[in-house]
Amino acid sequence: MKTLSAACLICALLFCSPCNAAEYVTLIAAGHVCCDPPVIRYSETITLGAGDFAELLDDLEMPGNLEINVGASSLIVGGGVNGSSSRRLKLAGPATIRLRGEGTGSSPNIAVFSITRANSAANVLPANAVVIPEDAGGQYQVILESSTDLLNWAVANPGTYGGSTPKRFFRTRILKLN
């Protein structure tokens, strides 16, 4: 069953669309073979910034636990979170996630996450950006305008402007020509 889940996960990752701006992170925590009490080993840490999202894709029936830290609070989520494919662990940042390897065998514990960063180019459109619509046959005129009172606008050219005018505002307009 673990082999089938791993094969399905690999196929899903290979055929995912790259345009969704997600990155995939695999956490691996080594299991242990000795000691009483057992030695807990940790994976690398995923750090989520504000607005970042993480989704556990498949926990591969991991015997370890996920350690999730949000601010000063810490939460341990046990293995087998995804009992069915309709129930997935999703987390919004800011937070950190790491895998605790608590298995009794030498096999590693594995968890795969899809991470969507808030500041990735596909997710960021500046508030002052103007976008020309996708239209294969359309022609658009981009106009730069200037104003000193935000009521009366005059066509302006890109270039260097002096600071002699106390308030000079600029805007960009797009007109469809056909």
* Predicted local confidence at residue 9, as pLDDT: 43
* Predicted local confidence at residue 173, as pLDDT: 86
* Predicted local confidence at residue 64, as pLDDT: 61
Give the pLDDT band of residue 4 (cuts 50, 70, 90). Answer: very low
pLDDT tens digits for range 63-83: 567 888 888 888 887 754 444
Which residues neighbour 4 within 8 Å (Cβ) at sequence distance 6 or greater?
Answer: none
To which residue do tokens 């022609």 refer?
A: 139
Residues 100 and 153 in one domain: no
168 falls within a domain? yes
Which of 113, 114, 117, 115 has the alpha carbon at shortest distance from 50?
117
Residues 115 and 31 in one domain: yes
pLDDT tens digits for range 81-127: 444 444 567 888 899 998 887 655 667 778 888 888 887 666 556 66
* 117 touches 31 (CB < 8 A): no
Which residues neighbour 48 within 8 Å (Cβ) at sequence distance 6 or greater?
Answer: 54, 91, 92, 93, 94, 95, 96, 97, 115
The two tokens of residue 174 are: 């797009």
* 66 touches 142 (CB < 8 A): no
Residues 13 and 70 in one domain: yes
CB atoms within 10 A of CB 6: 14
2 pLDDT higher than 50: no
Question: What residues make up the domain containing 85?
Answer: 2-119
- What average pLDDT is seen over the chain? 74
Please give the Cα distance from 150 to 130 (Å, whole number).
Answer: 18
Domain count, the chain: 2
CB atoms within 10 A of CB 58: 20
Give the mean model confidence (pLDDT) for residues 148-176: 86
Question: Where are the extended beta strands (E) located within 14-108?
Answer: 22-29, 41-42, 46-48, 53-58, 65-70, 73-77, 90-92, 95-101
Residues 8 and 55 in one domain: yes
